[in-house]
Chains A and B, each alone.
Chain A
Amino acid sequence: MTDLKKRSLLQAAALSAIAATALVACGKKEEPAPAAAPTAAAPASAPAAPKPEPLKIAFAYIGPVGDGGWTFAHDNGRKAVEKEFGDKVVTSFVENVPESADAERVIRDMASQGNKLIFGTTFGYMESMIKVAGDHKDVKFEHATGYKTADNLRTYDSRTYEGAYMAGVIAGKMTKTNTLGVVGSVPIPEVVRNINSFTLGAQSVNPKIKTKVVWVGKWFDPPNETAAATSLINGGADVLMQNTDSSAVLQTAEKMGKRAFGWDSDMTSYGPKAHLGSAVINWGPYYVKATRDALEGTWKGNEQSWWGVKEGAIDMVSIAEDVPEETKKKIEEVKAGLKDGSFVIWKGPLKDNAGKEVLAKDAVADDKFLGGINFYVQGVEGKVPGGDKK
């Protein structure tokens, strides 16, 4: 064997070793969490009782289950389904599915492996799900935060702005500078709506509120989220909220002696001194309902759900001890009002921050209005990036 041949052999061996290690690492990551394992293994060992086949359910996640935010909350929803239905269902998930052609491959794979109910948990899977749903008419598809539906595809979302409003009520009470700060991710209506709702909540207890916004331009960039939070605090904000996926803003507030909120999941542990409360999304109730629909044959496509406090999908949890009792009581009132429909957040008269009336007196915003918000309400400083098309 010549020297060169030997070398290329070695080279190939080395490269494949790296590849193998990488694959092992990835493969391990995609295994269900240990908590899910017993249920997943159950059908194999189940005796041949006259039990119906369990419903196979699959979840596609954009991030890792351990992100402590968005995907973590979805996986708690999946666990709620297992808890509710026991051995009537078998659930599985794939983490870190990028919003690219890979999403279609993963979802198609889920459908062809016999999953009858498939949840896609990020906006970017929309086109992939439409395509796969067209090819698998016998499978039911559920897409989070999208707007396209089909006969076997429906969408679901959460009214995160209700959590933002409750955070605002607390922030308005706790601020000493009357200046709040929000670290924004990507300037889409959902995020702008949350910034506005946060401000409206704060103004409901403190009319002097000003809100400053700094956009990071990404859902996830902890170092820049830190920098954005720092610049807000330097600019006089003493209570921060974020619409980004990590806990960096809360941790920055902790470090700089200011206050902040958790978002999507309970983030108390990331900044125990700074934490004022967490606006959480609880996907469990919807996932349980969707599964029940599928099990009982009442599942219908072409539907869109948008759940909030009323359905138990949004909550404000772990409110800090030093928040005054009256504020905590006010939060309970808001929750009760949202539940029975006696209270609405988006009600006129309401002006944008240029002074233009956007909702007339006593007018209540419908979902279409809420879905297209691209202005700041009075009290928020600056302009929505790209929102001003006058």
Chain B
Amino acid sequence: MESYALLLAATLNAGTVLALAALGLLINEKAGIVNLGAEGMMLCAALAAFAAVVHSGSDTLGFLAGVGAAALLAAIFGVLVIWLNTNQYATGLALSLFGAGFSAFAGIGYVQEKLPERLHFTIPFLGDIPLLGPALFRQHPMVYLAIGLVAWLVWFLYRSRAGLVLRSVGESPESAHALGYPVRLIRLAAVVAGGALCGLAGAYLILVYTPLWVEGMVAGRGWIALALTTFATWRPARVLLGAYLFGGVTMLQFHLQGAGVDVATQFLTMLPYLATIVVLALISRNPTWIRVNMPASLGKPFHPGS
């Protein structure tokens, strides 16, 4: 029983990294922009966060540095694809490669560095509940923030005026432009917000999840986050579900191995991908859902007045 509580705790922890990044990318894509640079942004954010905490000792500064670094990269990406109309996919890939190379280069000096003692969080009273307490209420605040973010995002996208404008910019930038909305600025804001969330994910990964810097330590989580937005058919709640599902099944396979369950590890390694795709595909069976939710101008450039 206790081990299930531990599994739950690990799931929340692992899912949060993916959820933060995927929600960021969701905001991007709702505005019609695909940013394949998530992995690179997360790596740079992780390094920036790590460096900030090593030098300042402050976690808050660490998170801010991570968010800032990724937001800056996203802003550069945004200017390139929105104003200079470079190909979104190629520019995103370039950003990913650049981020991986640059963080490796800039991070050489941090390879052997250690973070100062980490804080342990616990919510008073709730954290003392046997079994579930440690699993659910002794997590880093970012875990709860990710859940809150989904609720806010659902409200923002589907209930608020600003969300409607954001979606219209992703659906039909021409109409939004005709109505007088600054399409490019709105898209840039979405890209920067998305980058900031990817940065938050990178900072969380290195400050809470795996507190060490080594080259390429994000190990593909940026790409998984990208895939999650699509599998989740651009629905925030499903993105969160997919992130926890992927994180949970990844943890489950280690858990099963540790418990000595006799299944081929190659199968177990495949399981997170398989389970996430199957579940999200099942709940998105209705093809109109996908069509309704996929931003119509996703990946397409927009030139006002041409």
With A64-B108, A66-B215, A220-B219 as contacts: A212 and B260 at CB distance below 8 Å: yes
The distance in angstroms between the C-alpha atoms of A225 and B260, with both chains bound, is 17
* CB-defined contacts of B251 to chain A, threshold 8 Å: 227, 231
| A38 interface residue (CB < 8 Å to B) | no
* Closest partner residue, chain A, to B213 (CB atom): A222
* CB-defined contacts of A291 to chain B, threshold 8 Å: none
Task: Give the distance to chain B from A65, nearest Cβ to Cβ, in Å.
Answer: 8
Contact assessment for A213 and B214 in the assembled complex, using a CB-CB cutoff below 8 Å: no
Contact assessment for A187 and B105 in the assembled complex, using a CB-CB cutoff below 8 Å: no
The distance in angstroms between the C-alpha atoms of A162 and B230, with both chains bound, is 48
Contact assessment for A223 and B217 in the assembled complex, using a CB-CB cutoff below 8 Å: yes
* CB-defined contacts of A67 to chain B, threshold 8 Å: 111, 214-215
The distance in angstroms between the C-alpha atoms of A44 and B102, with both chains bound, is 31
| B19 interface residue (CB < 8 Å to A) | no
Contact assessment for A25 and B86 in the assembled complex, using a CB-CB cutoff below 8 Å: no
Q: Write the A5-22 contact mask toward B (1 if CB under 8 angstroms, else 0).
A: 001001100110011011
The distance in angstroms between the C-alpha atoms of A287 and B205, with both chains bound, is 38
Question: A residues 218-265 with Cβ under 8 Å of B?
Answer: 218, 220-228, 230-232, 234-235, 246-248, 251, 255
* Closest partner residue, chain B, to A250 (CB atom): B212
| A207 interface residue (CB < 8 Å to B) | no
* Closest partner residue, chain B, to A22 (CB atom): B98
With A14-B84, A386-B264, A386-B266 as contacts: A246 and B254 at CB distance below 8 Å: no
Contact assessment for B97 and A222 in the assembled complex, using a CB-CB cutoff below 8 Å: no
Contact assessment for B3 and A234 in the assembled complex, using a CB-CB cutoff below 8 Å: yes
With A15-B94, A67-B111 as contacts: A223 and B210 at CB distance below 8 Å: yes
* CB-defined contacts of B209 to chain A, threshold 8 Å: 223, 226
Q: What secondary structure prevails in chain B residues at the interface with A?
A: helix
Chain A interface bracket (under 10, 10 to 19, 20 to 34, 35 or more)? 35 or more
Question: A residues 86-129 with Cβ under 8 Å of B?
Answer: 96
| B6 interface residue (CB < 8 Å to A) | yes
* CB-defined contacts of B112 to chain A, threshold 8 Å: 68, 269-270
The distance in angstroms between the C-alpha atoms of A211 and B301, with both chains bound, is 57
| B255 interface residue (CB < 8 Å to A) | yes
The distance in angstroms between the C-alpha atoms of A26 and B209, with both chains bound, is 28
Cross-interface CB contact of A227 among B84, B102, B254, B262, cutoff 8 Å: B254
Q: Which one of A22, A269, A386 has the highest number of Cβ atoms from chain B below 10 Å of its Cβ? A: A22
Task: Give the distance to chain B from A229, nearest Cβ to Cβ, in Å.
Answer: 9
Contact assessment for B265 and A22 in the assembled complex, using a CB-CB cutoff below 8 Å: no
| B10 interface residue (CB < 8 Å to A) | yes
Contact assessment for A222 and B212 in the assembled complex, using a CB-CB cutoff below 8 Å: yes
* CB-defined contacts of B220 to chain A, threshold 8 Å: 221
With A14-B84, A26-B101, A248-B210 as contacts: A214 and B108 at CB distance below 8 Å: no
Contact assessment for B214 and A383 in the assembled complex, using a CB-CB cutoff below 8 Å: no
* CB-defined contacts of A235 to chain B, threshold 8 Å: 3, 258-259
Task: Give the distance to chain A from B5, nearest Cβ to Cβ, in Å.
Answer: 10
* CB-defined contacts of B102 to chain A, threshold 8 Å: 21-22, 25
Extra contacts, 16 of them, besides A22-B97, A215-B257 (Cβ < 8 A), are A11-B80, A14-B80, A15-B86, A28-B105, A67-B214, A217-B269, A221-B219, A223-B221, A224-B219, A224-B250, A226-B210, A227-B14, A234-B258, A235-B258, A251-B212, A270-B112
Could you pull out 10 A-B pairs where Cβ atoms are within 8 angstroms?
A15-B94, A19-B94, A22-B94, A22-B98, A29-B104, A217-B269, A221-B219, A232-B258, A234-B255, A246-B212
